[in-house]
Structures are given as C-alpha cells and as structure tokens.
Amino acid sequence: NAGVTQTPKFRILKIGQSMTLQCTQDMNHNYMYWYRQDPGMGLKLIYYSVGAGITDKGEVPNGYNVSRSTTEDFPLRLELAAPSQTSVYFCASSYAGYGYTFGSGTRLTVV
Amino acid sequence: GENVEQHPSTLSVQEGDSAVIKCTYSDSASNYFPWYKQELGKRPQLIIDIRSNVGEKKDQRIAVTLNKTAKHFSLHITETQPEDSAVYFCAASPSNTGKLIFGQGTTLQVKP
C-alpha cells in the first residue's frame, strides 16, 4: 500500500514550458486534490475532484488544468510556466473529504 | 468562500510547557476541522480532527476544542517535547464540499 505517489520529486522549468505533475493513489479514495505551498506559507487549493470525470476549481486555479479519468490518477498540467508558479505542489486524497493523505510533494522551480 | 485565520504565526515554549494554537473560520456551515503537522521538507500529516457535532477531542498529549458559536477552534499540546517542533496547520471544510481551506500555519519551537 503506497498511499499517494507523486512524480517527479523535483523539476526545473524554463518560462513558457509546460509539464504534467503526476499523482496516483492506491487507497480507493474518491476525492483527490492539488495544493501548492509557497515558502513559509500555508497550502492553497488549486483543483479538486470528487470522483472520476468530475473536477472543480479551488482557490488558485489560474495557469493550471486537471483531469480525472480514473479513480487512482489525478494529473496536474501547467501550461506556459511562469516564475509565480515556483512552489511545492502536494497531491492529496481522502474518503469523502475526511482524513486527507498527502503525497511527498513536487518541488518546482520556474526560471 | 471560507477563510481561515491562524494565530500565532510563531510560538516558542520550554520543554514540558503547554502550547495553544488558535484558528477562526468564516463559513458557519463548515463542519470538519483537522490539524496537520509538517516537519521541515516533509508532507503534512494529520494529527487530530474534530467534527462540528463534537466540542472537544483528545488523543494523548493533544486536544482540540471547537466553539461553533464563536467560529473558532484550538489545538492544545501538553507536556511539549523537542520532537513537537514543526509547523502546524489548521483547516476547515465547508459543508458537503469535501475540500479543506488551510490556515497560514504556526511554527512551534520547543526548547530543551
């Protein structure tokens, strides 16, 4: 039981490049989330999903896209990377919104 | 939408003392309030949570209290130890959304 797995762990992007952050969970959780955490700050919700085929915006969705084709996977797409997207990205999952389990994070730097 | 305010931003205590972190929320329909501990460079981990139909919950040295009327909840850590040093986040879940809105975090330092 791996929990929530994120890849990659680290990535450096150039301004204007695109990338996909991968997230998969093996706990059969129906809810999945993407948060970003800027240095010394709290976690801000980017997008979330309550089940396959259903996604919704969080607090800071601009510049990101998501899809949820399966229960297990919830990739986050960054289009046209900007320095403001430099952050640590955490994926999480839960059963009906209780007891989140977080992944280990992806540290992204945009230069 | 929901807004969560957390205080203090930093807290320093002597080993063995108690620590209290307070949070307020804006959405009276919020019904779930977890607390997370994040060590440096690690992922947040759930330490305790409380639902809106309960006023207090304890787990060994950790307790959480909830005042729905005042829309605030608090984390209490007794007999603090150096390994309690970390950043603590509160969060609130607007009713039936399944999402969490986090506070800004409190850096707790426990001095030996």
pLDDT digits (tens, 9 = 90+) for A37-50: 998 889 999 999 99
The pLDDT of residue B5 is 97
The pLDDT of residue B66 is 96
Residue-wise pLDDT tens digits, B2-55: 899 999 999 999 999 999 999 999 999 999 999 999 999 999 999 999 998 889
Contact state of A97 with B97 under an 8 Å Cβ cutoff: yes
By CB atoms closer than 10 A (0-12, 13-18, 19+), residue B78 is middle
- Give the Cα separation of A46 and A64 in Å (integer): 8
Residue-wise pLDDT tens digits, B28-39: 999 999 999 999
Within an 8 Å CB–CB cutoff, is residue B103 touching chain A?
Answer: yes
A98: amino acid identity, one letter: Y
DSSP for residue A84: G
Numbered residues of chain A with Cβ closer than 8 Å to any chain B Cβ: 31, 33, 35, 40-45, 48, 50, 58-59, 90, 94, 96-105
Contact state of A45 with B100 under an 8 Å Cβ cutoff: yes
Strands A98-102, A43-51: pairing is unpaired
Residue-wise pLDDT tens digits, A25-78: 999 999 999 999 998 889 999 999 999 999 999 999 999 999 999 999 999 999
Strand, helix or coil for residue A47? strand
Structure tokens at A36: 């970003």
Strands A76-78, A64-66: pairing is antiparallel
Task: Over range B86-97, report the average pLDDT.
Answer: 92
Contact state of B102 with A102 under an 8 Å Cβ cutoff: no
Residue identified by tokens 């972190």 is: B21
Please answer whether residues B82 and B96 qualify as being in contact, where contact means their C-beta atoms are separated by less than 8 angstroms.
Answer: no
Name beta bridge partners: B67. B72
Comparing CB atoms, the residue among B1, B42, B99 nearest residue A97 is: B99
The pLDDT of residue A52 is 95
Within an 8 Å CB–CB cutoff, is residue B102 touching chain A?
Answer: yes
- Give the Cα separation of B108 and B86 in Å (integer): 6
- Give the Cα separation of B78 and B13 in Å (integer): 11
